[in-house]
Amino acid sequence: MVYRILGKTGFRVSLVSLGSGGHSRIGLATGKTAAESVAVVRQALEQGINLVDSSEIYGTEELVGQALAGWPSHKIILSTKGAVTQDNRLKTARQLEESLENSLRRLQTDYVDIYHLHAVRPADYDDVVSELVPVLQKLKRQGKIRSIGITEAFASDPTHQTLRLAVKDDCWDVMMVGFNLLNQSARTRVIEPAMQKNIGILDMFAVRKALISQENLAAQLSVLYDKGLIDPDALDIQHPLADVLTSSGCRSLTELAYRFCSSEPGIHSILSGTGNIRHLHDNIRDIARGPLPEAVRDKLVGLFARVDCVSGQ
Ligand SMILES: NC(=O)c1ccc[n+]([C@@H]2O[C@H](COP(=O)([O-])OP(=O)(O)OC[C@H]3O[C@@H](n4cnc5c(N)ncnc54)[C@H](OP(=O)(O)O)[C@@H]3O)[C@@H](O)[C@H]2O)c1
């Protein structure tokens, strides 16, 4: 496993990290038992993954807590998130503190390494900074959280309005950004400015739904084609990226998608959101094969250079 330093946090994090949300929720959303979900997390740790991400809204914090029980906490970078609204209003300081306390209880810990404000909408951003960030700064001083993060709602904010604002501020240690080969717009809007400030960057949506299969990808590409955002002469929509896959040496579309993200300067860790142990092993092995050949990466950068309207959701 490759490890990288997560920006200004100084945390040494595995290049592959385990997400317990998304469409899979470590298997809870795909028919797995709680015991099987716990086994996915344990297997991830055994394979060298040291960053596990959850949220108060995923319903997976308790299982992550069970899986991590007994694992030395200094070997884990534990990340979770709190929503910024409750009953359609911005949380009060007390509500946010209660959210964290509940997460700590479910995770069976007295601190988390990264506490993110979850899926912050652009319209809420200014209030979040003035009302909730000071609460997190206090919790950081108290040692209940070791760093302060923010995530975007990539499916509804594929142009990164929230993180474009956030990257101008100095209060964030970590950002979780949507970036994949279909929508690379975070590169110049979020990741490069974040590198200037040494902000830790976690990548989500590397595969999501659109990059799981050729069928899903073809459906996504036809949307982009209809919008005039991709060149049909450069891309065979019936057999999407078949030529790129061959020249890349990748064995699957998911390998191409994960390795595209692992090739991206400024990304410290790629969240893989799986509840399937075979997929977990495949993804770790695939990402360990290293960056894509430069010509393949350049081709993918060129093919999707104008896309910023889809997330791959
Ligand atoms: N706004 C936010 O804060 C936010 C939003 C979304 C996600 N996240 C975080 O980011 C994490 C990653 O989420 P993501 O959905 O973007 O993850 P992802 O890794 O891009 O996609 C996960 C999806 O791909 C499938 N998959 C994974 N490996 C596969 C393989 N080798 N072959 C075929 N299918 C494969 C998974 O299903 P299987 O279970 O079948 O493998 C799952 O449906 C989440 O778990 C969560 O922690 C945060």
User: What gap in Å lies between CA 100 and CA 55, rounded to an integer?
Assistant: 10
pLDDT band at 237 (very low <50, low <70, confident <90, very high): confident
Please give the average per-residue pLDDT across 257-277, as a whole number.
Answer: 97
Question: What is the position in ligand 1's atom list of the atom closest to the CA of 152?
Answer: 1
pTM over 0.85: yes
- For 289, the token pair is 């094969």
Nearest CA to ligand 1 atom 5: 22
- Average pLDDT of the chain is 96
The pLDDT of residue 232 is above 90 = no
| Residues involved in catalysis | 58
122-154 pLDDT tens trace: 999 999 999 999 999 999 999 999 999 999 999
| Domains annotated on the chain, with CATH | 3-210+266-290 (3.20.20.100)
Instruction: Choose the residue to mutate in 49, 63, 274, 287 for probing ligand 1, maximizing ligand atoms within 8 Å of C-beta.
Output: 274
Please give the average per-residue pLDDT across 281-305, as a whole number.
Answer: 96
92-115 pLDDT tens trace: 999 999 999 999 999 999 999 999
| Of 227, 215, 241, residue with least CA distance to 309 | 227
Beta bridge partners of residue 12, listed in sequence order: 5
Torsion sign over Cα 221, 164, 133, 73: positive
Please give the average per-residue pLDDT across 217-236, as a whole number.
Answer: 89
Question: What is the position in ligand 1's atom list of the atom closest to the CA of 21?
Answer: 45
User: What gap in Å lies between CA 107 and CA 86, rounded to an integer?
Assistant: 21
Nearest CA to ligand 1 atom 23: 208
For ligand 1, the distance from its centroid to the CA atom of residue 211, given in whole angstroms, is 10
Nearest CA to ligand 1 atom 26: 274
